[in-house]
């Protein structure tokens, strides 16, 4: 996927904000390989899921081993913890990642074959306090990104103790509609009937509306867990809807599942999906270690920010552009610009050899905030005209005072952007 220069400021802003929020919640970053053994995703994500059956980019290496470009991050994080002996670290272990993922899906707005996720995972706690905390992290990040209308949908899909009876209840219910269900759901009836609840086909949706609900079939422990989660979310003042159609598309979930849905961004409106997966670490060869987490799709966050009218400005916009005429002035411009950049100030000058007029046009194009005009006379006088581009006001400034002036100006702007979002 190409992300062009005019698009990167918003990506950088999301990444910076995600890291900042994750840090405040005590999460550390983990990085892991872009591809893993196919077996990891088949076992981790689940053989019967759409991701494993239809969407993986799988290839064979020179030694005939099968690898897959990661379709998500959770299975890889679990693999990494087990492989690096981290399952006995001080718990809870709180990790986050910013990764690209690959799924062979039909591309549309908010859905691409290479996409990017910000994800978090917490290991070593079965308490619903942890579920509430990761939901709070997601909620905080969404509101800091200015995505006001994101709504939280939660559900509980039970555990290995209550799931079998629920599966049977679902099978019993859907069997009466075998002829009406879509072809995919007909095969899901045997392999994974819960996935029928997630089907987007209008006919299946209508049938699913009357299906037995997970929350009516929870064992007492799962019911208590879900009740406690709701209490904690209410205490944290995070609004939520219990939505029994949320079952998630990956096999590892147990108990809590949740999604944040954004309005106004089309059909692919789930900006964040996650839940608890208490059996996965064991399934992949580690100890019994409860866990939960979520992932957000960055492109969908961008669409939601646009829908909310959030605009992020490029950091590359220079504070000062020096337009120069003559060899000596060009060298002096380079000298001043280098000194300002060393002080952390964004400054620019001609590096192409343009005429003065073309330089002024260029300064306008890159939206420099100030322009300084430097020629032989200015060099001799040690002073030059400084134009504030916003209102074209011009003042004279000693060249020796430029560093001090722009240091103060940069500090003012950074304070203003922190307090007023300018
Ligand atoms: P997921 O629901 O498959 O969950 O993906 C999480 C998010 O990634 C989605 O809500 C969506 O925003 C984004 N996403 C997924 N597919 C695409 C695509 N093709 N194009 C653009 N964005 C996409 C997981 O991946 C789990 N690993 C989340 C998790 C972490 N659960 C526990 N821990």
CATH number assigned to the domain comprising residue 342: 3.40.50.800
Shared domain check, 389 and 345: yes
Q: Residue 134 falls within a domain, yes or no?
A: yes
CB 292 within 8 A of CB 274: yes
Q: Copy the structure tokens of residue 408.
A: 């103060």
For ligand 1, say whether the CB of 115 is within 6 Å of any of its atoms: yes
For residue 148, give the CATH number of its domain.
3.30.930.10
User: Are both 241 and 266 inside the same structural domain?
Assistant: yes
pLDDT for 309 equals 92
Structural domain tally of the chain?
A: 2
Atom of ligand 1 nearest to the CA of 274: 31
Please indicate, yes or no, whether residues 81 and 125 belong to a single structural domain of this protein.
Answer: yes
Q: Distances from the Cα of 269 to the Cαs of 111, 140, 151, 273, 305, in angstroms?
A: 10, 18, 10, 11, 12
**Where a domain ends, among 307, 331, 365?**
307
Q: Which two tokens stand for residue 275?
A: 């839940």
Are 27 and 136 part of one and the same domain? Answer: yes
pLDDT at 199: 87
Residue 200 is assigned to a structural domain of this protein: no
* Confidence band, pLDDT 50/70/90 cuts, at residue 243: very high
27 and 113 co-located in one domain:
yes
> Quick one: 298 and 396 in the same domain?
no
Band of residue 159 on the pLDDT scale cut at 50, 70, 90: very high
Q: Structure pTM?
A: 0.92
Judge whether residue 277 has pLDDT over 70: yes
Same domain assignment for residues 111 and 252? yes
The pLDDT assigned to 422 comes to 43
Q: Ligand 1 atom closest to Cα of 107?
A: 19
Identify whether residues 63 and 146 lie together within a single domain. Answer: yes
How many whole angstroms separate alpha carbon 102 and alpha carbon 214? Answer: 30
Residues 91 and 155 in one domain: yes
Question: Are 240 and 336 contained in the same domain?
Answer: no
118 shares a domain with 17: yes
* Structural domain includes residue 327: yes
CA-nearest of 264, 266, 413, 416 to 345 is 413
Q: What is the DSSP letter of 225?
A: H
182 domain-assigned: no
Q: Which domain holds residue 357?
A: 320-420
Pocket test for ligand 1, best of 72, 97, 122, 262 (most atoms within 8 A of CB): 72
């Amino acid at each position: 996927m190409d992300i062009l220069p005019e698009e990167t400021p918003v990506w950088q802003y999301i990444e910076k904000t995600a890291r900042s929020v994750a840090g405040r919640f005590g999460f550390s970053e983990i990085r892991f390989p872009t591809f893993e053994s196919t077996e990891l995703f088949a076992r981790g994500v689940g053989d019967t899921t759409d991701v494993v059956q239809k969407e993986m980019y799988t290839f064979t290496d020179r030694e005939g081993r099968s690898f897959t470009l990661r379709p998500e991050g959770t299975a890889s994080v679990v693999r990494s913890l087990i492989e690096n002996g981290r399952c006995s670290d001080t718990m809870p272990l709180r990790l986050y990642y910013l990764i690209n993922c690959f799924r062979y899906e039909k591309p549309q707005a908010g859905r691409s074959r290479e996409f990017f996720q910000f994800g978090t995972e917490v290991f070593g706690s079965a308490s619903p306090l942890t579920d509430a905390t990761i939901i709070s992290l997601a909620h905080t990040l969404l509101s800091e990104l200015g995505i006001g209308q994101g709504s939280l949908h939660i559900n509980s899909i039970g555990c290995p103790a209550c799931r079998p009876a629920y599966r049977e209840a679902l099978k019993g219910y859907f069997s009466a509609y075998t002829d009406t269900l879509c072809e995919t759901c007909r095969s899901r009836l045997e392999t994974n009937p819960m996935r029928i609840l997630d089907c987007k086909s209008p006919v299946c949706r209508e049938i699913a509306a009357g299906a037995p609900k997970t929350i009516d079939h929870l064992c007492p422990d799962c019911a208590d867990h879900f009740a406690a989660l709701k209490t904690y979310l209410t205490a944290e003042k995070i609004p939520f809807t219990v939505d029994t159609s949320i079952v998630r598309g990956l096999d590892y979930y147990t108990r809590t599942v949740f999604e944040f849905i954004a309005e106004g961004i089309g059909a692919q409106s789930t900006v964040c999906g996650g839940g608890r997966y208490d059996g996965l670490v064991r399934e992949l060869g580690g100890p019994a270690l409860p866990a939960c987490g979520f992932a957000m799709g960055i492109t969908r966050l961008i669409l939601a920010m646009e829908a909310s009218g959030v605009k992020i400005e490029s950091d590359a916009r220079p504070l000062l552009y020096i337009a120069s005429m003559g060899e000596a002035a060009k060298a002096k411009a380079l000298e001043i610009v280098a000194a300002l950049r060393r002080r952390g100030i964004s400054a620019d000058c001609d590096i192409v050899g343009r005429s003065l007029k073309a330089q002024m046009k260029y300064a306008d194009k890159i939206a420099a905030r100030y322009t300084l005009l430097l020629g032989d006379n200015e060099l001799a006088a040690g002073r030059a005209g400084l134009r504030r581009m916003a209102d074209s006001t011009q003042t004279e400034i000693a060249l020796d005072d430029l560093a001090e002036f722009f240091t103060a100006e940069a500090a003012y702007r950074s304070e203003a952007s922190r307090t007023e979002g300018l």
